[in-house]
Structure 1
Amino acid sequence: MPIIETVEQLAEFLEQNEEWRRRIYSILVPRELARLPAEFDEFRTEVRREFESVRTEMREGFEQLRAEMRENSERMERKIQRNTDDIAELKGISLEQYYRFDQPLREA
């Protein structure tokens, strides 16, 4: 084993020797802390999956809402047209009654 006198020499030795680097890492870093990167990756994957699920659910909900709004709009248009037709019919009846009964008879 080479003689290591400086921190730079130690860093260089550890960069070249994977086995020593892993051993020192396992000594210096507590197991709970060493597991954090893997746990974070799992958490991130779960969050992404959940986010995508919520995003899909929202898209479907908005599409359903749009469809219901189109249906309601069409239904309202039909009701408005019916009301317009009914009002026109009532106006016609009213005008007919006016001309038939309210106008004085013209003498010829």
Structure 2
Amino acid sequence: MRHIAGVTVDAFTVLAEPSRRRILDRLRRAESSVGELVDALGMSQPAVSKHLRVLRDAGLVTCRTAAQRRIYRVDVAPLRAVDDWLGPYRSMWTAHLDALERHLDSQE
């Protein structure tokens, strides 16, 4: 498995899918069962289950069993690694936008 700055390439591939990002956004707010995700996101149960399996295989979510339900939640460690990798790019964009703002202010 390839890594970029300690982050598996799988994490980037998994995060590229909009439905998976929606699931992660929901799980960021509260751990949820498949049924709760289906209701909240308006997706079919098979689609939610498929995306959760991919997210779990990539290590981005964990699952626990409560009675007959599986409860999913975000695992922050892989996402922290993605955020760490993105940090220098965030700083670069902030610097460029600040420079653009100064330039535009000087034109007024």
The TM-score normalised by the length of structure 1 is 0.28
- Which is greater in Rg? 1
Structure number with the bigger relative contact order (C-alpha 8 A, sep ≥ 6) is 2
Whichever structure has more helix as a proportion of its residues is 1
The TM-score normalised by the length of structure 2 is 0.28
